[in-house]
Structure formats: C-alpha cells, structure tokens
C-alpha cells in the first residue's frame, strides 16, 4: 500500500530547520580558519587544532544525544525537548566564539575560540541530532523521502548562499577585524536561531498526535548507533561515503577565502565565489529529484559525485594559470554538490528502517546521532587538513588589517588544497559507494 503524500506544510516546516543547520554548517568552515590565522595571528598548526578538537568532542556526545532523543520519542512521540535546548543555548555561545577581546595574545585568543566553539558545537548537536532523525518518523515512503530532503536542501542551499555571501559582506562593512567578525556573528546567530525555533515549534505540533512507544529495559542505548555501524553494511557504507564527501566540501569551503585573497588577489571575491558554488545547486534541485526517482538514489549520488570530481580536478589548473575562469568549474561543482547533499540524507531513513526492523525497535535517534557526529568531524577535519597543507607549504599568518606576502610554495598549496585534495577525497568516496548493494525500490 502506498504511503500518503506528505503535506506541503510538513515539508516546509521540516525544511525551516536547514536555516539553522546551513548557517552553522557554512560560517565556521568558511571564516573560522581565516579568522584565526589572519585576524588573531594564530599559527596554522595551532589553528588546525582549534577547529578540529570541538568536533572530536561531538563524536563522543552525539550518540548519547541520539539515544536520549529516542527515549524522548518513545515516551512522548516528540523529539523537541533537546531541539529547544540547543536552539536557545547556541545564541550566546556562537556570538562569544567571535567576540575575542583585542587585548588577548594569539595563544590566549586561540584558547578562547576553542572553549566557546566547543560549547557551541554541543549546543548545535542538541538541535541537529533529533532534527536529522525526523524524516524516518514522518514517512515510510521511499520517494517521498527524496522529495522531503530535496526541499530541505533547497532551503539549505539558499541559507548557505545568503550566509556565505552575506556574512563576509557584513564583516567587511564593519572594516573586518574584531568588530567586523563580531557584527557578522550577531547577524548570523539571529538568522540561525530563528530557523531552529521555527522547525522546533513545527516539530512539536506535528508530533502532538503521535502515539507513544513503549521502550524495553535495553531500548535506546547510547551504543545502538555503534552497533548499527558494526552490523548494518548499508549504514556503514552510506556513512563513510557521506563523511568523506563532507570532508571534501569542507576542505574546499575552508580554502575559498584564501583562494580569493591570495590567488585572485581580491579578498572580496569570496562572495562571488560562493554564489558560483551555491546558486547552481538551487536551480538544479528539481532535476536531481527526477534523476533520483528515475534511476535510483545510489546511481544519482554516483553521478553527482563524478560531476564534482571532474570540476575539482579542472580547478587544479589554477596552480599554473589562475584567473576568473575558475568560476565556471566552481559552478559545475555546485551542481554536483546539490546531489551529494540530497541523496545520502534521502537514503538514511531507508537504512534506519532496515536496522530498526531488524532489531525490533526504533533506532533513528541513535543512528542519526552517530551520523551527525561523523559529519561534524568531517566538517572540522576539512579545515584542519587544509590548514596543514598551508603549514606544509610555508603559509605566513598575519594579524588584522594585514595581508602577508606568501612564498610561491604557499600559493601552490592554497590552490592544490582547494582543488586537488577534494578531488582525491571524492574519488575515495566513489570507491566506497561502489560497495553499496541495497536494492532500491519505491514503497
């Protein structure tokens, strides 16, 4: 029997959460590394540690948050308690991350960012983990999940476009430096918290009539996500693919500001670079939905990944011949990025159902908790990897209002890290994806 179609209000209510996840996902990856090295004067190696460590903390806590979310859902039919807590706590913590006092030394400033960014990551996880688990609760229909996720990705892409282009513009309007980053953080936090609040309010209304589920004495354990990773082949493969691709996009995201400043020689070029990457993703989303329905989610994901890979490889030419032509392959990468975001998230509810049916109880929160932990790790390691490339190639850090002269080796590292490293990671993800053997069919 075919599941009833999702109403437009459900789809849009769920998608509103991507205003929050998109803003948090893009801004630290886009500017935090550059903030550390080119405003606070933190060395590239120490900056890499600062951006990675908070996500290591997430690996430990996200599965616990997922298990707690499953217990909430079993008891109340809702996952909103943790979502509200995260939406409220993230406001002061995210602002504080970019509110480093000017009097601090570079080492103390790095510690300040480390502490507040770690706490911000925890608050974000309280919202994101139950949010990612919602699609499996909303519909059992195979193709409806693709449509649900595609609406979310459109909102996500729009948010990334607005924040990725607008936040640096706000920073530059206030002349960069300490005041510019603080103004940027305040504006972005307001948008982020609004999206999270709307989605949480909607999720509470949508779950008001949901039946409660009884939980056995061993139900909803923290280790459920890890056991799913160990015993469910499809979940393991899908998670590895998604994390590897998140790592690739995070590397490219972290390198965008450096590419604009030192290769295109215009730090304000970050905004058009970002538009070139994200705008195509919005335009082609309906096409990816049709491709997914026609050929299956796995094949569509492979096609999107190959497209991104080819675009990243072509950007490597900028090592020898930099110029405005880079906008064309970046736009091509944006088309691939749209599919790479949509299909893993549309496939996740399918493998959650597979695992939950196999063990006889809901494991959506636990599996989503481990998923988000791995994703956030990838998003953090990406900038860390990029910073290590810069360190290895002799990049020179600087303080606010300065643009250091970089050696030729560093200029090569900036471009190679932006283009060739993501290409290699996407190639690895395609090899992993080839082992995904789940039969695809509509419900």
Helices (H), 28-141: 33-38, 44-76, 80-97, 106-138
Q: Which CATH number do you get for residue 57?
A: 1.20.1250.20
Neighbours of 4 (CB within 10 A): 9
Residue 439 placed within a domain: no
Cβ distance 423 to 316 under 8 Å? yes
Residue 315 placed within a domain: yes
Residues of the chain with pLDDT under 50: 1-4, 208-219, 442-443
- Cα 117 from chain centre: 15
**How does pLDDT run across 397-424, given as a tens digit for each residue?**
776 556 678 898 999 999 999 999 999 9
Residue 30 placed within a domain: yes
Report DSSP letters for 373-387, one per residue. HHHHHHHHHHHHHHH
Split into its structural domains, the chain has a count of: 1
Residue 2 placed within a domain: no
**Rounded to whole angstroms, how far apart are CA atoms 301 and 317?**
26
The residues, ordered by sequence, that sit 6+ positions from 91 with a Cβ below 8 Å of its Cβ are: 189, 193
Instruction: Give me the pLDDT at residue 299, please.
Output: 93
Segment (H or E) for 293: helix 270-295
Instruction: Give me the pLDDT at residue 30, please.
Output: 77
Residue 254 placed within a domain: yes
**Rounded to whole angstroms, how far apart are CA atoms 366 and 370?**
6
In the three-class reduction of DSSP (H, G, I as helix; E, B as strand; rest coil), residue 106 is classed as helix
The residues facing 40 across adjacent strands are 399
Nearest Cα to 307, choosing from 274, 323, 284? Answer: 284
The residues facing 399 across adjacent strands are 40
Residue-range definition of the domain harbouring residue 230: 9-208+221-433
Residue 4 placed within a domain: no
Neighbours of 412 (CB within 10 A): 17
């Amino acid at each position: 029997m075919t599941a009833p179609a999702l109403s437009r209000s459900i789809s849009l209510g769920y998608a509103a959460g991507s205003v929050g996840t998109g803003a948090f996902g893009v801004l630290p990856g886009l500017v935090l590394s550059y903030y550390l090295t080119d405003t606070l004067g933190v060395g590239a190696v120490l900056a890499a540690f600062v951006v990675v460590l908070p996500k290591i903390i997430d690996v430990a806590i996200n599965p616990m948050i997922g298990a707690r979310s499953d217990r909430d859902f079993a008891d109340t039919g809702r996952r909103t308690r943790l979502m509200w807590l995260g939406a409220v706590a993230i406001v002061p913590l995210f602002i504080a991350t970019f509110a480093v006092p000017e009097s601090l030394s570079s080492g103390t400033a790095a510690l300040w960012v480390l502490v507040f960014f770690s706490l911000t990551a925890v608050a974000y996880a309280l919202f994101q983990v139950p949010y990612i688990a919602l699609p499996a609760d909303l519909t059992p229909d195979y193709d409806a999940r693709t449509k649900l996720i595609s609406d979310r990705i459109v909102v996500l892409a729009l948010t990334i476009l607005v924040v990725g282009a607008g936040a640096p513009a706000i920073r530059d309007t206030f002349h960069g430096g300490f005041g510019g980053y603080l103004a940027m953080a305040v504006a972005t936090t307001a948008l982020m918290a609004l999206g999270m609040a709307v989605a949480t309010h909607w999720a509470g209304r949508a779950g008001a009539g949901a039946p409660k589920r009884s939980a056995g004495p061993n139900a909803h354990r923290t280790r459920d996500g890890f056991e799913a990773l160990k015993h469910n082949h499809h979940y393991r493969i899908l998670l590895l693919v998604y994390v590897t691709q998140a790592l690739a996009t995070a590397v490219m995201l972290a390198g965008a500001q450096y590419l604009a400043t030192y290769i295109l020689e215009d730090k304000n070029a970050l905004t058009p670079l970002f538009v070139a990457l994200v705008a195509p993703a919005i335009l082609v989303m309906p096409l990816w939905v049709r491709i997914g329905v026609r050929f299956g989610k796995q094949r569509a994901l492979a096609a999107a990944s190959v497209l991104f890979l080819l675009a990243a490889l072509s950007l490597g030419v900028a090592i020898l011949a930099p110029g405005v032509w880079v906008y064309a392959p970046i736009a091509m990468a944006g088309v691939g990025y749209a599919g790479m975001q949509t299909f893993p998230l549309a496939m996740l509810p399918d493998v959650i159902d597979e695992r939950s049916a196999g063990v006889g109880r809901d494991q959506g929160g636990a599996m989503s908790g481990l998923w988000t932990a791995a994703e956030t790790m990838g998003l953090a390691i990406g900038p860390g990897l990029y910073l290590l490339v810069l360190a290895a190639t002799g990049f020179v850090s600087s303080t606010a209002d300065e643009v250091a002269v970089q050696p030729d080796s560093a200029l090569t590292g900036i471009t190679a890290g932006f283009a060739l490293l993501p290409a290699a990671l996407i190639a690895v993800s395609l090899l992993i994806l080839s082992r995904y053997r789940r039969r695809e069919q509509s419900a």
